[in-house]
Each structure stands twice: as C-alpha cells, then as structure tokens.
Amino acid sequence: MHSVDPTTEQMIRAVLAYAENRLRLDPVPLDGGNPDQAVLDGALTGLLGDEPHNPDQVLGAYTSVVAPAVISADSPRFLGFIPAAPTKASLLFDMLVSCASIQGISWLEAAGAIRAENLVLRLIADRAGLPTQAGGCFVSGGSAANLSALVVAREVAKRKAAGAAPPGGRRLRAVVSADAHSSITSTLRILEMDALIVTTGDHRLTGPALRAAIEADGDPASLAVVVATAGTTNAGIIDDLAGAAAVAREHGLWFHVDGAYGGAGLFAPSVRRAYDGIEHADSFVLDPHKWLFAPFDCAALLYRDPALARSVHKQDASYLDVIHSDPAQWNPTDYAYHLTRRARGLPLWFSLSVHGVSAYTQAIETAIRLAGRAAAEIGKRGYLELIREPDLGIVLFRRTGWTDAQYTDWADGLLRDQVAFIPPSAWEGETVARFAFLHPHTSMDLVREILDRMG
C-alpha cells in the first residue's frame, strides 16, 4: 500500500488521467442525475471487504456511477445555494497539497506552508482594514469559523463578567439579525447561548435597529456579542457594519462579522463602500471556497487580537509543549477548534499568486454585474417581479401566480434538462426563485433561457 509497485503505477496513471480530464472540462457540465440508491448500491456493494480489487474496477465504479450522481457545484449552470467556482490553478494545487501530506498544525511542522497561508490571510485582513496584528487561520468552512470565533467572544465576555455580580444562572446572549446564517443559530445552541433577534423591515441589520433592540431589552448585561452579516446567504444583503460596530463598541460587546459568502466583495471596488465599518470587527469570516474561487474546503478566520483567540483555543498537552516553546511562532491550531489541519489556504495562495489579485477582482465584479443585468431582465417581464435590488450576486424574484409546486416543477425540469440547478428559496414565508451568481462564466443567455421557462 505504501510502496511504488505496479499497482501504484497503474493507479497513478488512471487517477491522474481522470483528474486531467476533469480539469480540462470547460465548461464543467452540471451532471447530477438522482439515481435510486439501489443503483448506487449495485455498483458499490462488495467493493469494501477483506479482499482487494483491481483499481481500474474501483475507479470504474466511481466514474460510471458515483460521479454522475453528483451535481457539479463548479458548473456555471449551478445557480443554487452558494455555488463554487474554483480556479483550475487552485484545483491543481489542491492535488499537490494532498500528495504532500502537509500537517498544518504548527510552525514547527509546516513553517513554509503556514507563512504562505498567513500572507493570504494578511491580504484579506488588509482588504478589510484590520490592524497589522490581526491574524487567524484557515478552517473547513464558515460554520466552523463562526463557531470558533463565537467561542472566543463568549470566553472574553465571561472573563469580563468575572468579579461582577453573579449571573444568577443566566445564559450569555448574542445580538443577531433574523437573517443571520443558520450556522450562527447552531453555534449559539452549542455554546448554550441565546439570541436577541433584531428584525428590520428590509432585512438589513442597522445601527439604530440594534441600539433600539438593546435599549428595549430587559437584560443587556447578559449580552456578549453582536453578529453582523456581510452578504446574507439568501439575499446577499450587507448589514450596516459601521452602525453595528459603533453600537457594539458603546455596549462593550464583541463585534463578529460573518462574510462567509459576501466577504469576497471586499475585493470589488463597485461595492467596497458597503463594507465600511468592517475594519472594527473583532472577528471576521470569509469563505474562499465560495467567492474567492478556492476548492472545498476553505474558510478564512481572522481576529483583531489573535492573542485572545490563542488564550481560548490553544490546546495544552505534554506532547504539544514543543510547538509552543517559542511564543513568536505562529501555530494555526491555536486559533480555532481544531488540531490536525490540512494546509487548505495553499491552493488559494498558489492561484492568487499565479493570476494576480486583479483577476479575482474582475471575476467577482462579473457576478455582481450579472446579478444587475438579471434583475433588469426580470423587470422587463410582466410575469416576474423582482423582490429587491441585488447588493451582490444573489437575485430573488417571484413568478406571479405560481404555487409552490410550480416552482418545484420548473426547477426539476431545468435540472432534468441539464439547463441549470436553481432550487426555489423562500422570502417572508413565500416560495420564490433565486439566482446565486458566482461563476464568472455564467452567461446572460442562460439567464434568459431560465426566465423564458417561467413564461
């Protein structure tokens, strides 16, 4: 298994040939039939057992049955949820990172990889206007990043409260918008925190709404953190970050900004002003596996004061003392809830270095422009209604008179015909249609074709 024998040679040729073909797909097709589980089991049953199998047979099961049953999130026709659009460079380098088995825990083990990753984190921190001491690490996704950041927020609040009047069994709370991502709700459940939910008419958290909610609240002393979103998942709304930051500061609360989806807009001059105030974040999350065109899985987690995060997340064990012997050395493990970690920032580092940041700016601007053009196209059609002008790459709209079932039939038909993956969403309790534009090769012709099929 660990030597280079004829079977290894055979696998190298076959797997790399498959990877090469996949990399050369341009455009990546949508794929994703929804076969019966019996079909999958028919091909897979028996492969896992005590006896070996010829690698060509196993790869054959993958290519003929497994892969076609996966919708390609990196297809320009994938317009649901939050798509992916990893650059070819990042995909290639991801293979290299896998082959190199880089253990990205500590400076001791992986100084080179960590330095390269940290330069990417610095690039993101600069775009956000975070101070020079800001830092963090790459984790698996926005959910993991939100959890790690809010753990720090909660511990900092607990430390501040120590010595004050006993909390009387009260749980700490976070002030969140009703439109915050579902991972924030999960995080609060895990942390045994409650939410003070702020609702606004246009779904955008603002400083005044936040201030009014805190002033009207009967127990402001139990608040630990304000969570704002820079690009809500369902509608792409950027909260009033400057206003939220000011209120958080007034009340001595941690200010967390979830930019897992929309944080990449920091690289787009056309919308950069909407992020003003992000420079005050105590913690900030941006998922490169979304709109910075990195492969799954990659989320950037940054702290204004990384020493606070280290004081919460650093794992102590006698066998780990060696990685902490020099306090000047940066250990990514110290900044999130993880120990072993893939150096998942490296594919982004490689691709950014190869293509240059300007290419990223252009690709992000392309999705924003496409959202604007799609909104205009919706406005031209009497049977459609735009729900709100898009801020970023997400467009919500309704087909007047349609039932939920009609939206489902329309979406199913588009996937069946390999036109697009565009599952319906909901807005204020109503089923609606939603474009999530991210891939720079999604075309206006495709948008028109999708809209025509609603007529």
425 binds ligand PLP (CB under 6 A): no
Of the candidate residues 76, 83, 104, 141, the single one contacting ligand PLP (CB under 6 A): 141
The strands making up 394-399's β-sheet, listed across from edge to edge, are 384-386, 394-399, 430-436, 425-427
Q: Which is nearer to ligand PLP, 117 or 179 (CB)?
A: 179
Please tell me whether residue 256 binds ligand PLP under the rule CB under 6 A: no
Nearest to ligand PLP of 181, 313 (CB atom): 181
Least CB distance to ligand PLP at residue 6 (A)? 40
- Range list of β-strands (E), 274-365: 283-286, 299-303
Cα distance between residue 285 and residue 149, in whole Å: 8
Closest contact distance (angstroms) between CB of 262 and ligand PLP is 7
Whether 358 contacts 373, CB under 8 Å? no
d(CA 119, CA 116): 5
Shortest Å, Cβ 274 to ligand PLP:
15
Which is it for strands 384-386 and 394-399: parallel, antiparallel or unpaired?
antiparallel
Q: CB atoms < 10 A from the CB of 444, how many?
A: 12
Among 143, 200, 283, 366, binds ligand PLP (CB under 6 A): 143
> Binding residue for ligand PLP (CB under 6 A) from 106, 200, 229, 425?
229
Q: Which stretch binds ligand PLP (CB under 6 A): 141-149, 191-199, 398-406, 423-431?
A: 141-149
Tell the smallest beta-carbon distance from residue 121 to ligand PLP (Å).
Answer: 17
Tell me phi and psi for residue 426, to 5 degrees. -140, 150
> Cis (ω within 30 of 0) for the bond into 52?
no
Q: Say whether 259 sits in a helix, a strand or coil.
A: strand
Closest CA to 298 of 453, 96, 140: 140
Applying CB under 6 A, the span of 191-199, 256-264, 350-358, 422-430 interacting with ligand PLP comes to: 256-264
User: How many angstroms separate the CA atoms of 422 and 412, rounded?
Assistant: 9
Query: DSSP class of residue 62?
Result: I
Number of residues that bind ligand PLP (CB under 6 A): 14
Q: Does 344 bind ligand PLP (CB under 6 A)?
A: no
Burial of 347 (0-12, 13-18, 19+ CB in 10 A): buried
Q: How far is the CB of 345 from ligand PLP (least distance, A)?
A: 14
Which of 75, 206, 233, 333 is in the footprint of ligand PLP by CB under 6 A? Answer: 233
Single-letter residue type at 247:
V
- What single-letter DSSP state applies at residue 65? I
Query: What binding mask, one character per residue, do residues 73-92 give for ligand PLP by CB under 6 A, x or -?
Result: ---------x----------
CB within 8 A of 116, min separation 6: which ones?
Answer: 345, 346, 349
Rounded to whole angstroms, the Cα distance separating 177 from 255 reads 13
What is the SS3 assignment for 362-382? HHHHHHHHHHHHHHHHHHHCC
Of 76, 142, 393, 440, which lies in the binding site for ligand PLP, with binding defined by CB under 6 A? 142
Binding segment for ligand PLP (CB under 6 A), chosen from 97-105, 237-245, 257-265, 312-320, is 257-265
Closest approach of ligand PLP to the CB of residue 180, in Å: 8
User: Which range binds ligand PLP by CB under 6 A, 140-148, 204-212, 300-308, 375-383?
Assistant: 140-148
200 is an interface residue for ligand PLP by CB under 6 A? no
Residue 356 CB-density burial (10 A; 0-12 exposed, 13-18 middle, 19+ buried) = exposed
Is 434 a residue that touches ligand PLP (CB under 6 A)?
A: no
User: Which residues touch 68 (CB under 8 Å, ≥6 apart)?
Assistant: 31, 32, 33, 35
Contact 337/411 with Cβ under 8 angstroms?
Answer: no
CB of 254 to ligand PLP, least distance (A): 17
Per-residue x/- marks for ligand PLP, 377-406, CB under 6 A?
Answer: ------------------------------
Phi-psi region of 163 (alpha: psi -120 to 50; beta: other; left: phi over 0): left
Nearest CB to ligand PLP, comparing residues 258 and 377: 258
- Round the CA-based radius of gyration of the chain to a whole number and report it: 24
C-beta atoms surrounding 430 within 10 Å: 10
Binding mask 259-288 for ligand PLP (x = CB under 6 A): -xx-------------------------x-
Minimum distance, C-beta of residue 143 to ligand PLP, in the bound complex (Å)? 3
Identity of the residue, 143 or 206, whose beta carbon is nearer to ligand PLP in the bound complex:
143
In the list 299, 343, 395, 396, the residue contacting ligand PLP (rule: CB under 6 A) is 299
Single out the segment in contact with ligand PLP by CB under 6 A; choices: 127-135, 164-172, 253-261, 355-363.
Answer: 253-261
Q: Which residues pair with 301 in a beta bridge?
A: 137, 285
Residue 81 vs 410, nearer CB to ligand PLP: 81
Binding residues (CB under 6 A) for ligand PLP: these are 82, 141-143, 146, 181, 183, 229, 233, 258, 260-261, 287, 299
